[in-house]
Amino acid sequence: MPSPLFVALQNNLNNLKSSLIAPKKSDFSKYTSAEHDMALGFVLLASAHVEEYAEQRCLKAASAAMDSHGHGKATRASKCLLVWHAANFPAEMIPLEPAEFASSLRAADVLKQYRALVNKMHGISGTKLLKLVVPLGLRDSELDIALFNTLNDLADRRNRAAHVRVNRAKLMKEPVEEWNLFQQILKPLETMDISIDAALRT
């Protein structure tokens, strides 16, 4: 079952579609400039929702993992976060014993550094999302390469929409195509969302 954060993301994107994506028309020339502009607005706003979801989902997962670790329950997510932290933020002494990994100060620093990683992620892309989920213990079999490629495509569309005056009429692109891109993202993103929960349990 997907997380409440993922369900909220689905609802937010559906609401944006209803408000900003014009119904498909038989004649492309019938789309107005306002409808093309709304489609660009959809890309920007929907991307922001996906970014917020990814950040909050990963932060909450990291917090839950380290909380379980502090209560004596080591999970795949907590172990991977500790290894990620030890590899990227080496202390004067490399932890070797279980007690050293169980330190509450170490757990707090893991969360501090992971939160800093999330805060550096301005905008969403496949490359950025991968950097967030790998430390949570997701395995290759749980990572859909197509999802990350589609998110990279989304990042390119978002950046062009945000920084360049895009003439959608000249591109001959139906407004609904912007929604279709997000549909391609949602299903594998839901699978990844469920995989994060699995990493928190095992």
pLDDT in tens, 44-87: 999 999 999 999 999 999 999 999 988 888 899 999 998 899 88
Please give the share of the chain, as a percent, with pLDDT higher than 90: 63
- pLDDT for residue 96 is more than 70: no
Distance CA 68, CA 161 (A): 42
Residue 104: pLDDT band by 50, 70, 90 thresholds? low
C-alpha angle 1/129/46, rounded to 5°? 75
DSSP letter, residue 141: G
- Between CA 136 and CA 202 the distance in angstroms is 12
The mean pLDDT value for 87-101 works out to: 67
Residue spans of the domains in the chain: they are: 33-201
Q: Spell out the alpha helix ranges (H) of the chain.
A: 4-20, 33-70, 76-88, 98-101, 104-119, 126-133, 145-163, 168-171, 176-201
- pLDDT value of residue 93: 61
Collect all residues with Cβ–Cβ distance below 8 Å to 126 and sequence separation of at least 6. 147, 148, 149, 150, 151, 152, 155
- Confidence at residue 147, expressed as pLDDT on a 0 to 100 scale: 95
Banded model confidence at residue 166, pLDDT cuts 50, 70, 90: low
Q: Is the pTM of this model over 0.85?
A: yes
Residue whose tokens read 């080496």: 90
